[in-house]
Amino acid sequence: MSIYLVLGIVFVSVFLFVLAIGLLTAGRKDTRSTVAGRLSSYGAQKEQEATPSFSDRILIPTLRRIANMVKRISPRGVVESTSHKLELAGILEVMGINVYFTVKFLFPVVFLIIYILLIVFFDFSLMISLLLLIPIPISYFLPDIYLRGKISGRQDEIRRALPNALDMLTITVEAGMGFNAALTRITNNIKGPLGEELSKMLKEMNVGIPRKEAFRNLVNRTNVQDLDSFISAVIQAEILGISIGKILRTQSSDLRNRRSNRAEEAGIKAPLKLVFPLIMCLLPSLIIIIIGPGMIMVFDTLVKFIT
């Protein structure tokens, strides 16, 4: 029985390892086609040809078929919303929607394989067997839970970094620098998701996209209310001809007040959030310490009385 268990664990481990390697390989961009295209103009394409690897011949096409199958059976709105969520999480370029749908499909398959191995090698009761079935459908939603947490964390980082970035932008603009040049300056000094999104916005503006449209694309990629209000104020200032420095100063003060209010709100909620951990962790220990000696004395008294 132990030999079969070891074989089952080895099989699942190898399967997960191959799957992870395949997903990482599929998520990368294939740069050989670009190199081959450049070499073809020099007549050196045939010299660079090589035998495709196992992942290129079998693994990656299989994963792509699985992703295409999941996309076909999924409603169109689900595909578009998932793509937008990946963009909000900042992993659309890294993972891609095909890899996400493949992982989402293979999670229940992996849990089903583990369930079959457990049922084959162990003698569980009917109730335990039914309980072991629960993680199989739940695993389908694990990528969604991870994606939701990724989006929330990224939006929180942008929300926290925005007031400081706006302060730097206000100081730079009031010092006499142009708005686009000031954006470029603070983008080079800001790290994290906000700096990445501002860098994308500047690249869009450099390729000829109007500033208003680039701002709207920034809002769609982040979906942060504070950033949306700032962008709306800047666009209205451009339309009405209001001084951009005055708008930046007002928005900077407003965002600092919002950050202070959120900090106070989090501080008010902290005692309420601590009630449940205190009840579950501290109260049993206190009960044991306070009532434990008395219970021991009562037990000894009952034993002496019975004997």
- Are residue 116 and residue 161 in the same domain, yes or no? no
Alpha carbons 56 and 43: distance in angstroms, whole number: 24
Alpha carbons 247 and 290: distance in angstroms, whole number: 62
The tally of CA atoms less than 13 A away on the side-chain side of residue 73 is 8
Query: What pLDDT was estimated at residue 304?
Result: 79
- Are residue 205 and residue 81 in the same domain, yes or no? no
- Are residue 158 and residue 107 in the same domain, yes or no? no
Q: How many Cβ atoms are within 10 Å of 77's Cβ, its own excluded? A: 8
Tokens found for residue 179: 């708005």
- Are residue 69 and residue 105 in the same domain, yes or no? yes
In a domain, residue 112? The reply is yes
Nearest to 263 by CA among 159, 155, 153: 159
Range of the domain at 166: 153-260
- Are residue 71 and residue 170 in the same domain, yes or no? no
- Number of domains making up the chain: 2
Query: What pLDDT was estimated at residue 152?
Result: 92
Query: What pLDDT was estimated at residue 59?
Result: 63
- Are residue 128 and residue 194 in the same domain, yes or no? no
Q: What is the CATH number of the domain that holds 193?
A: 1.20.81
Q: Which of 86, 112, 140 represents a domain boundary (last residue)?
A: 140
Residue 65 amino acid letter: R
- Are residue 113 and residue 15 in the same domain, yes or no? yes
Splitting the chain (307 residues) into consecutive groups of 10 residues, what average pLDDT does each group show? 56 59 51 44 46 62 68 71 87 80 83 84 82 86 90 91 88 85 86 89 89 90 89 85 83 86 86 83 83 83 78
Give this prediction's pTM. 0.69
Alpha carbons 234 and 163: distance in angstroms, whole number: 15
Q: Which of 140, 167, 190 represents a domain boundary (last residue)?
A: 140
Q: Which of 140, 161, 185 represents a domain boundary (last residue)?
A: 140
